[in-house]
Amino acid sequence: MITLDVTEEVVEEAIANGCELIISHHPLIFKGLKRITGSNEVERCLIKAIQNNIAIYAAHTNLDSITGGVNSMICNKIGLSNCRILAPVKNQLLKLVTFIPEDQVEPVRSALFSAGAGVIGNYDQCSFGASGYGTFRGNEESNPFVGRQGELHTEKEVRFETIVPRHLVPVVISALVAAHPYEEVAYDLIPLENDYAVVGAGMIGELKEPADEIHLLESVRQIFGCQMIRHTALLNRKISRIAVCGGSGSFLISKAIAEGADLFISADLKYHDFFDADKKIVLADIGHYESEQFTKEVLKEIVLKKFPTFALRLSDVKSNPVFYL
């Protein structure tokens, strides 16, 4: 069963439908638990799930921070194009440099690419190679691929460079070591300052046609089924660039302004956050649940792609704890 939140009602729905796994966006356990006595809803959900052999998995921040996650779905629903991450993460990319004998470049390169190295935006298999000479001398324990033990050897090699996201480093290095013919593979992993454009907080995109502020807010209200939208003063100009962040996004207001967004759609904005609009942007708080309700569809797509034979059910429970009078 796929759900935005795990509530008692959701666990009961899972039990009634024979589900063995609940996949939720928001984690059930936000703070550490010292006891499970059933004194609150979180503890009761756990007890019921355990008694009924139901596993609970939560995605949360990882799904918030990827292209194709929560915010991509919001952009799709509004109909934005040219979408990109609003605040990409830094320090997640490394340069991998290795030195490959000239006639062995092809198998090593394809092993690295297959492991996920060399992806930049819409391009994959990105690399650079420069020819030169490598030297080495193996000791009495060595078994060199070329040259002889105890003798200095010079080999025509290619200095091969490519890019690797941090989370793939272990996989890529194993692939390198497996595919490279040398007994000892020389390689450098160099941290980069570059933004990792496909991962980070929020997204920003463009409307196909600029829209009136009030018409746009009205259509956002309909798309997300909001009973109301709290927003800052309208600026009487057309909206063409929109930033979004599902859930609590006030930390991105200045970034949305800096990136030239005309409107920032998010949730959980506090009174003082609204002042930060500073007549430069329209801020719209559409509600936390409302902004993330389509996340169920994102999770469904991911699971169906990986496990096409799984029986999936989207929870029918409207778990929004906020009501409007």
**Alpha-carbon distances, residue 278 vs 76, 151, 180, 244, 260 (angstroms):** 28, 71, 57, 18, 13
Distance of CA 38 to the CA centre of its chain: 34
Helix, strand, coil content of the chain in percent (nearest 5): 30, 30, 40
Using an 8 Å Cβ cutoff, are 171 and 50 in contact?
no
Structure tokens at 82: 């040219």
Using an 8 Å Cβ cutoff, are 73 and 294 in contact?
yes
The rounded distance, in Å, linking the Cα atoms of 210 and 207 is: 6
Task: Give the nearest distance from C-beta 71 to Zn ion in angstroms.
Answer: 11
Task: Give the nearest distance from C-beta 292 to Zn ion in angstroms.
Answer: 5
Is residue 249 within the footprint of Zn ion (CB under 5 A)? no
User: Toward Zn ion, which CB reaches closer, 72 or 162?
Assistant: 72
User: Toward Zn ion, which CB reaches closer, 176 or 245?
Assistant: 245
Which neighbouring-strand residues pair with 204?
84, 243
User: Toward Zn ion, which CB reaches closer, 118 or 247?
Assistant: 247
Residues 201-220 that bind Zn ion (CB under 5 A): none
Closest residue by Cα to residue 86 from 161, 217, 198, 189 = 198
Task: Give the nearest distance from C-beta 201 to Zn ion in angstroms.
Answer: 12
Is residue 69 within the footprint of Zn ion (CB under 5 A)? no
Instruction: List, in order, residues 6 or more apart from 15 with CB less than 8 Å away.
Output: 48, 52, 54
Residues 252-311 that bind Zn ion (CB under 5 A): 292
User: Toward Zn ion, which CB reaches closer, 138 or 249?
Assistant: 249
Task: Give the nearest distance from C-beta 186 to Zn ion in angstroms.
Answer: 45
Stretch that binds Zn ion, among 38-46, 124-132, 242-250, 314-322 (CB under 5 A): 242-250
Task: Give the nearest distance from C-beta 264 to Zn ion in angstroms.
Answer: 16
The rounded distance, in Å, linking the Cα atoms of 187 and 93 is: 16
Stretch that binds Zn ion, among 208-216, 245-253, 271-279, 312-320 (CB under 5 A): 245-253
User: Toward Zn ion, which CB reaches closer, 104 or 320?
Assistant: 320
Classify the C-alpha dihedral 216-222-223-229 as positive or negative. positive
Task: Give the nearest distance from C-beta 294 to Zn ion in angstroms.
Answer: 12
Tell me the backbone φ, ψ of residue 240, rounded to 5 degrees.
-125, -35
Angle at 97 between CA 142 and CA 105, to 5 degrees: 70
Structure tokens at 97: 């440099």
User: Toward Zn ion, which CB reaches closer, 157 or 292?
Assistant: 292
Is residue 247 within the footprint of Zn ion (CB under 5 A)? yes
Task: Give the nearest distance from C-beta 247 to Zn ion in angstroms.
Answer: 3
Q: Binding residues for Zn ion, how many (CB under 5 A)?
A: 2
User: Toward Zn ion, which CB reaches closer, 58 or 282?
Assistant: 58
- Chain position whose Cβ is nearest to Zn ion: 247
Stretch that binds Zn ion, among 109-117, 198-206, 247-255, 296-304 (CB under 5 A): 247-255
Task: Give the nearest distance from C-beta 205 to Zn ion in angstroms.
Answer: 20
Q: Is 52 exposed, middle or buried (0-12, 13-18, 19+ CB in 10 A)?
A: middle
User: Toward Zn ion, which CB reaches closer, 69 or 138?
Assistant: 69
Site residues (vs Zn ion, CB under 5 A): 247, 292
